[in-house]
């Protein structure tokens, strides 16, 4: 699935942390890795309405590619295919265009990178690429101080966020490949959201569509509904678990109750994961929450690497 990986660089050490995460698929899957640096027109030499990349940019990317290849060979990946390219234009636009043109299967980016030989800020570029890319984007938290490579973390788990929709489930094939590649356990997470009704008035079951006539207090209604939703969520997750276990993966599941983004962020804060995998949008199914909004909140509130997959 990961045959060609694109790693955008802006010339900073922070942006280069994405290379730590490209090592595993390059070494274990034999994926080709392409390093890309994008120069704005103001950073190039322009003549007669044509712009030419300055030698310093090419030297930087070629040197980084050679160093990365040497690191892969040191761990036994002798046939690693490492390419590099210097482009001119708006960074996010060029990264997205290049990924389509070269049929890239994964983009690995740091969330922040500044200075170096370039002046574009990787944080804002990552955000634009995440929203515009049609291929999965693996986002690395470059700003975490004194961080340990994800392969050396004491916890070795992948968290998968599901909302019961087919669109959210499109992340599963990528999760399976990550788990097979790393040997990590998969944790499936569903959040059951209570009804969004502000005032706890007394409701009548007949008004809620039930074939009864006795009045129902709001809290009782919520409690009854949550029992049903949690049972449905459990049944749903058991089915997903079986699919992944049939592929030889170690899987467990978790059900939480509350606002999805808040519950996920709190859960991740108390249970570090090597990777959080989610679809960029998922709606309906067993749940009413939009994973697009949730993904955005989780993306900006957690420090774990995140794999975002845009569903078809």
User: Where is the domain boundary, 117, 146, 175?
Assistant: 146
162 in the same domain as 281: yes
Question: Do 178 and 98 fall within a single domain?
Answer: no
Neighbours of 274 (CB within 10 A): 21
**What pLDDT, on the 0 to 100 scale, is given for residue 1?**
81
d(CA 68, CA 23): 8
Indicate whether 25 and 157 sit together in one domain: no
Res. 107 pLDDT band, cuts 50 70 90:
very high
Specify the number of domains making up the chain.
2
pLDDT at residue 10, as a whole number: 87
Q: Are residues 110 and 247 in the same domain?
A: no
Q: Are residues 124 and 156 in the same domain?
A: no
Report the 3 state secondary structure along 249-289.
Answer: CCEEEEEEECCHHHHHHHHHHHCCCCEEEEECCCCCCCCCC
pLDDT digits (tens, 9 = 90+) for 132-153: 888 999 998 765 544 555 455 5
Q: Which residues pair with 46 in a beta bridge?
A: 51
Other beta carbons within 10 Å of 112 = 20
Angle between helices 18-28 and 55-74 (to 10 degrees): 50
* Per-residue confidence band for 244, with pLDDT thresholds at 50, 70 and 90: very high
Which of 92, 121, 146 terminates a domain? The answer is 146
Q: Are residues 219 and 294 in the same domain?
A: yes
73-75-76-82 Cα dihedral, nearest 10 degrees: -40
Q: Has residue 197 got a pLDDT over 80? A: no
Q: Please tell me whether residues 118 and 214 are part of one structural domain.
A: no
d(CA 164, CA 309): 16
Is 171 found in the same domain as 126? no
pLDDT in tens, 250-300: 999 999 988 888 999 999 988 888 899 998 864 444 333 444 677 778 877
Same domain, 128 and 181: no
Q: Note whether 130 and 99 are within 8 A (CB).
A: no
Residues 88 and 133 in one domain: yes
- β-bridge pairing 251-257 and 185-192: parallel
Cβ-contact 62, 10 below 8 angstroms: no
Read off the CATH number of the domain in which 200 is found. 3.40.50.620
User: Max alpha carbon distance in the chain (Å)?
Assistant: 82
Q: How far apart are CA 26 and CA 80, in angstroms?
A: 7
**Both 142 and 156 in a single domain?**
no
pLDDT exceeds cutoff 70 at 191: yes
For residues 137 and 104, is the Cβ–Cβ distance under 8 A? Answer: no
pTM of the model: 0.82
How far is residue 304's CA from residue 139's CA, in Å, rounded to a whole number?
Answer: 9
pLDDT at 272: 82
Q: Answer yes or no: do 138 and 204 share one domain.
A: no
146, 178, 201 - which closes a domain: 146
**Domain of 228, in residue numbers:** 152-309
């Amino acid at each position: 699935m990961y045959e060609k990986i694109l790693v955008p660089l802006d010339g900073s050490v922070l942006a280069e942390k994405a290379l730590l995460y490209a090592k595993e698929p390059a070494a274990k899957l034999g994926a080709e890795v392409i390093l890309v640096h994008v120069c704005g027109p103001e950073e190039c030499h322009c003549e007669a309405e044509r712009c030419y990349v300055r030698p310093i940019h090419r030297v930087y990317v070629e040197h980084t590619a050679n160093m990365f290849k040497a690191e892969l060979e040191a761990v036994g990946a002798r046939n690693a295919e490492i390419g590099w390219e210097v482009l001119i234009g708006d960074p996010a636009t060029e990264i997205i265009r290049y990924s389509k043109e070269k049929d890239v299967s994964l983009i690995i980016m740091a969330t922040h990178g500044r200075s170096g030989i370039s002046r574009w800020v990787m944080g804002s570029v990552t955000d634009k690429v995440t929203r515009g890319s049609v291929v999965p984007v693996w986002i690395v938290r470059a700003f975490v101080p004194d961080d340990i490579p994800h392969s050396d973390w004491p916890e070795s788990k992948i968290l998968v966020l599901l909302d019961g929709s087919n669109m959210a489930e499109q992340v599963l094939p990528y999760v399976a490949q990550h788990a097979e590649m790393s040997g990590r356990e998969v944790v499936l997470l569903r959040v059951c959201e209570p009804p969004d009704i502000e005032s706890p008035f007394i409701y009548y079951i007949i008004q809620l569509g039930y074939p009864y006539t006795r009045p129902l207090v709001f809290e009782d209604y919520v409690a009854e509904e949550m029992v049903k939703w949690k049972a449905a969520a459990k049944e749903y997750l058991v089915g997903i678990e079986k699919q992944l276990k049939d592929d030889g993966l170690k899987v467990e599941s978790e059900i939480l109750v509350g606002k999805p983004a808040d519950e996920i962020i709190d859960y991740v804060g108390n249970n570090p994961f090597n990777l959080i995998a989610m679809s960029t949008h998922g709606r309906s199914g067993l749940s009413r929450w939009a994973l697009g909004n949730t993904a955005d909140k989780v993306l900006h509130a957690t420090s774990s690497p995140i794999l975002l997959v845009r569903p078809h």
